[in-house]
Amino acid sequence: MRESSKETLTALISRTLANRIIAGEIEPGARLRQDHIAEEFGASHVPVREAFRRLEAQGLAVSEPRRGVRVAAFDLSEIKEVAEMRAALEVLALRHAAPHLTPAILDAAEEATRVGDNSHDVRSWEDANQRFHRLIIEPCRMPRLLAAIDDLHAASARFLFSTWQSNWEARTDHDHRAILVALRTGDLESACSILARHVQWIGNRPPPATKRANALSDR
């Protein structure tokens, strides 16, 4: 298999497994069976192992001696750490992105907020929420920083899915609108302050009860 093909398959496997973990389809502690996953995707063990490493980098999986790779458990201290890291890095990205934010970008971010406010389930809300955050920080032109933020966002999204999946209710995101008002008026300090507070709220929520694992679990 050519390197480009292997990379594409690795990305597909890691993205699919990440989505399942984030959505709660695979419970914390469930073992990720390398042979089963390789068979599912028609792949050798090489891209599967590389996909596992990506999941570990995102904080979605852990590798344990003699136990293999398992879905990472929820831990309140880790959730708080993720929230604080996201707050610091997203504020850094916003500071670098601010000079490049155009009215069109801010309009798109406002539309993403409207879509989120009208979402009927947590998955569509999170898609809109992630789009908002990505729009206002992507112009920072710092790909490594954005990649790190993406990994942290995946970890926090997993917590949100577990918390809100069964008791979703529509909500209005006042913080998003306040951030946009500050950015439109050139008040970067207020925008950064609101963004930091907005991202860190998740660290103050207790970890949810785990769900049942799907067929990828060996339990």
pLDDT mean over 61-73: 87
At residue 87, the 3 state secondary structure works out as: helix
Mean local confidence (pLDDT), 14-20: 90
pLDDT at 219: 30
CA–CA distance, 214 with 217 (Å, rounded to integer): 6
* Domains present along the chain, CATH in parentheses: 3-71 (1.10.10.10), 76-204 (1.20.120.530)
Alpha helix locations (H) across the chain?
A: 3-22, 34-41, 45-57, 76-97, 103-117, 122-137, 143-164, 174-184, 188-200
**CA of residue 113 relative to chain centroid, distance:** 17
Average pLDDT over residues 66-70: 87
**How sure is the predictor about 167, in pLDDT bands with cuts at 50, 70 and 90?**
low
Question: Does 159 have pLDDT greater than 60?
Answer: yes
- Cβ contact 52:61 at 8 Å: yes
Instruction: Find out whether 18 and 58 touch, Cβ atoms under 8 Å.
Output: yes
Instruction: Evaluate if residue 13 carries a pLDDT over 90.
Output: yes
The answer for residues whose C-beta is within 8 angstroms of residue 140's C-beta and 6 or more apart is: 92, 93, 94, 95, 96, 97, 100, 146
The arithmetic mean of pLDDT across residues 183-205, rounded, is: 89
pLDDT at site 205: 55
**Residue 110: other Cβ atoms inside 10 A:** 17
> What's the whole-number mean pLDDT along residues 109-117?
96
Question: Which of 170, 153, 164, 171 shows the shortest CA–CA distance to 211?
Answer: 164
pLDDT category of residue 4 using cuts at 50, 70 and 90: very low
Q: Which residues contact 80 (CB under 8 A, 6 or more apart)?
A: 203, 204
Per cent of the chain over pLDDT 70 is 84
2 or 103: which carries more pLDDT confidence?
A: 103
Confidence at 76, pLDDT banded by 50, 70, 90: confident
- Give the mean model confidence (pLDDT) for residues 182-189: 98
Q: From CA 39, how far away is CA 41, in angstroms rounded? A: 5
> What is the C-alpha to C-alpha distance for residues 156 and 80, in angstroms, rounded to an integer?
10
Cβ count within 10 A of residue 25: 17
